[in-house]
């Protein structure tokens, strides 16, 4: 009988569902996990909400196989250490999202209509109507940082107020934003134009303290900042100074620790709540049910679709991640090694649901220091720190491209260079079908390949072959697609050994090539 430890206040439905399936459930809300770990070292499943799951706790539970976060955020769980111990970590995405989205709307209305101080004043026998002159939400401009589950639900909940919505999320496709009727903007544009700004971004090394004086100085006088995400993303001292200068309003529901005691934002928060976003009967019930359902499915059916610390999700062939890496590496080679500042991707067929899992190999394709086994979150952080904009385009599967992908790299600012590469998997082999405007390439990228692009004319391939032969380099395969419109040809020659750089340069000069490079895979 598998033991499940639930050291948190969670709807009893989770325990009931698990018990009915034969699990031994230990309910101990409020008891410190280290204490419970000592009492129940044979625990195989740990279900938590906001409790910290540290390496010490993981080590204290040698039989642990699965940690389930009954909610979306899992920053309190050391997922990388869990992976090292071969422990899967799941969350229940979307279970709490509506509760948080509705809370944000409630805060907006409460701060605009002075509901909290108005209630206190009226209960005290006062009648201060003029003091509590409010504002209407209708017609305002709302900025949303982070358009995940919560951000998108907030967009829908605000629809009835006829607001203009500005959004920022580097991972959302422009077509998706258009469907939501959200205008995609930079973070700076949102802070400069919005009457209310709501934060729905994770806290990590990249976002910690990012909401600071540089953004506050852009805000309109009297603007509202709402934080129902994570406490650490705001620089409180900078907010304190900006609030005094611009009479900003601040609504807050998150703190460094979920516990009683003085709060550092007490002097600057117009509304502060004890992390109530997901604290609804409906959200608690849904998170509990999903935590139990996912645990049962994990052990009975091996379903791991909600595991957040694995390199490969259910249904995705690892070959496609390798393909993404190869296409990106080749594209950068084609751009003469230039570092891209923008990457656009299209994933067709079933691959469209795995876009985020392609980001680590894409990052590794342009940066040797980025490990392919990093997580999508690591890749997103890398792109942000490197100033690379990543856009996943919405695709039209009526084009019948099957399970294929297109990766476009853009480099430069004043003069922009671009290359687009498409590929797929055919009979378990990687296949590059197009590079730039050279279609019908159908190249299997294994071994050593010499790429030479030149103005089409007779005898060029013969010259290249002759120069290779002089160095005793054998030609194993040749592909030579043409771009009729530009008059260019591309010879891709597979060789038995890697072509030395000096010979590549000699070939470039001999055929007056616009591009010549060696690519090995």
Angle among Cα 172, 174, 177 to the nearest 5 degrees reads 75
User: Do 364 and 509 lie in a common domain?
Assistant: yes
User: Do 43 and 136 lie in a common domain?
Assistant: no
Distance CA 250, CA 240 (A): 10
Distance CA 408, CA 421 (A): 6
User: Do 7 and 65 lie in a common domain?
Assistant: yes
- What is the residue range of 502's domain? 318-520
pLDDT at res. 311: 64
Which domain CATH number covers 223? 3.40.50.720
What pTM value is reported for the model? 0.62
Q: Are 201 and 232 spatial neighbours (Cβ–Cβ below 8 Å)?
A: no
User: Do 428 and 489 lie in a common domain?
Assistant: yes
Residue 7's CB is within 10 A of a number of other CB atoms, namely 25
Is residue 376 assigned to a domain?
A: yes
Question: How does DSSP assign 51-62, residue by residue?
Answer: --B-HHHHHH-T
**Exposure on the CB side of residue 343, measured as CA atoms within 13 A:** 33
User: Do 83 and 149 lie in a common domain?
Assistant: no
Is residue 150 assigned to a domain?
A: yes
pLDDT digit string (tens) for 127-153?
A: 999 999 999 999 999 999 999 889 999
User: Do 468 and 507 lie in a common domain?
Assistant: yes
Is residue 89 assigned to a domain?
A: yes
Which residues, other chains included, contact 84 with Cβ-Cβ below 8 Å and sequence gap of 6+?
A: none
Question: Radius of gyration of the chain from Cα atoms?
Answer: 28
The secondary structure of residue 368, as a DSSP letter, is: T
Which residues, other chains included, contact 123 with Cβ-Cβ below 8 Å and sequence gap of 6+?
A: none
Q: Are 233 and 109 spatial neighbours (Cβ–Cβ below 8 Å)?
A: no
Is residue 312 assigned to a domain?
A: no
Is residue 313 assigned to a domain?
A: no
Q: Are 141 and 135 spatial neighbours (Cβ–Cβ below 8 Å)?
A: no
408 has which bridge partners? 344, 420
Distance of CA 30 to the CA centre of its chain: 32
User: Do 70 and 149 lie in a common domain?
Assistant: no
Q: Are 433 and 424 spatial neighbours (Cβ–Cβ below 8 Å)?
A: yes
Which domain CATH number covers 417? 3.30.70.260
pLDDT at res. 371: 73
Beta strand ranges found along 348-447 (DSSP E): 389-392, 404-411, 417-426, 429-435, 438-443
pLDDT digit string (tens) for 231-270?
A: 999 999 999 999 999 999 999 999 998 889 999 999 999 9
**First vs last Cα of the chain: how many Å apart?**
48
User: Do 351 and 290 lie in a common domain?
Assistant: no
Element (H, E) at 271: strand 271-272
Distance CA 516, CA 507 (A): 8
Element (H, E) at 90: strand 88-91
Is residue 203 assigned to a domain?
A: yes
Cα separations (Å) of 434 from 332, 354, 516? 15, 22, 17
User: Do 121 and 239 lie in a common domain?
Assistant: yes
Residues of the chain with pLDDT under 70: 311, 372-373
Is residue 168 assigned to a domain?
A: yes
User: Do 288 and 327 lie in a common domain?
Assistant: no
pLDDT at res. 174: 83
| Count of residues making up the chain | 521
pLDDT at res. 94: 84
User: Do 464 and 367 lie in a common domain?
Assistant: yes
Looking at the structure of the chain, the number of domains it has is 3
User: Do 286 and 203 lie in a common domain?
Assistant: no
Is residue 308 assigned to a domain?
A: no
């Amino acid at each position: 009988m598998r033991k499940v430890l639930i050291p948190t206040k969670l709807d009893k439905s989770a325990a009931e569902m698990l018990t009915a399936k034969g699990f031994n459930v230990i309910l101990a809300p409020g008891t410190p996990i280290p204490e419970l770990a000592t009492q129940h070292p044979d625990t195989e499943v740990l279900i938590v909400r906001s409790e910290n799951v540290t390496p010490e706790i993981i080590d204290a539970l040698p039989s642990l196989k699965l940690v389930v976060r009954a909610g979306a955020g899992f920053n309190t769980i050391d997922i990388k250490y869990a992976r090292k111990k071969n422990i899967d970590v799941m969350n229940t995405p979307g279970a709490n999202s509506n509760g948080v989205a509705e809370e944000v709307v409630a805060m907006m209305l409460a701060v605009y209509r002075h509901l909290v101080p108005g209630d206190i004043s009226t209960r005290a026998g006062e009648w201060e109507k003029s003091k509590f002159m409010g504002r209407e939400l209708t017609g305002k401009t709302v900025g949303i940082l982070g358009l995940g589950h919560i951000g998108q639900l907030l967009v829908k909940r605000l629809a009835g107020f006829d607001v203009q919505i500005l959004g920022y999320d580097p991972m959302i496709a422009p077509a998706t934003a258009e469907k939501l009727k959200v205008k995609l903007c930079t973070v700076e544009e949102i802070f400069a134009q919005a009457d209310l700004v709501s934060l729905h971004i994770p806290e990590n090394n990249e976002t910690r303290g990012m909401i600071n004086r540089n953004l506050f100085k852009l805000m309109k006088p009297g603007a509202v900042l709402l934080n129902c995400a994570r406490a650490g993303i705001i620089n409180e001292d900078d907010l304190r100074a900006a609030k005094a200068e611009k009479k900003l309003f601040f609504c807050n529901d998150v703190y460094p620790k979920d516990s009683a005691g003085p709060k550092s934002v007490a002097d600057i928060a117009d509304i502060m709540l004890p992390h109530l976003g997901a604290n609804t009967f409906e959200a608690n019930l849904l998170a509990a049910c999903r935590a139990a359902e996912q645990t049962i499915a994990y052990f009975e059916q091996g379903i791991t679709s909600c595991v957040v610390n694995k390199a490969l999700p259910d249904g995705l062939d690892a070959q496609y991640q390798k393909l993404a890496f190869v296409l990106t590496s080749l594209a950068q080679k084609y751009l003469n090694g230039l570092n891209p500042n923008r990457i656009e991707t299209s994933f067709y067929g079933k691959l469209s649901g795995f876009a985020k899992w392609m980001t680590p190999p894409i990052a590794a394709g342009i940066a040797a220091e980025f490990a392919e086994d990093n997580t999508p979150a690591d890749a997103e952080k890398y792109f942000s720190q490197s100033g690379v904009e990543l856009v996943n385009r919405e695709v039209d599967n009526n084009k019948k491209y099957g399970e294929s992908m297109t990766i476009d790299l853009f480099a430069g600012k004043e003069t922009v260079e671009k290359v687009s590469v498409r590929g797929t998997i055919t009979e378990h082999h990687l296949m590059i079908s197009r590079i730039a405007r050279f279609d019908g390439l159908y190249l299997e990228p294994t071994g050593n390949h010499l790429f030479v692009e030149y103005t089409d004319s007779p005898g060029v391939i013969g010259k290249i072959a002759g120069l290779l032969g002089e160095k005793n380099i054998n030609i194993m395969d040749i592909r030579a697609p043409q771009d009729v419109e530009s008059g260019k040809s591309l010879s891709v020659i597979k060789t038995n050994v890697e072509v030395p750089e000096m010979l590549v340069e000699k070939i470039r000069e001999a055929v007056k090539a616009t591009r010549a490079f060696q690519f090995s895979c």
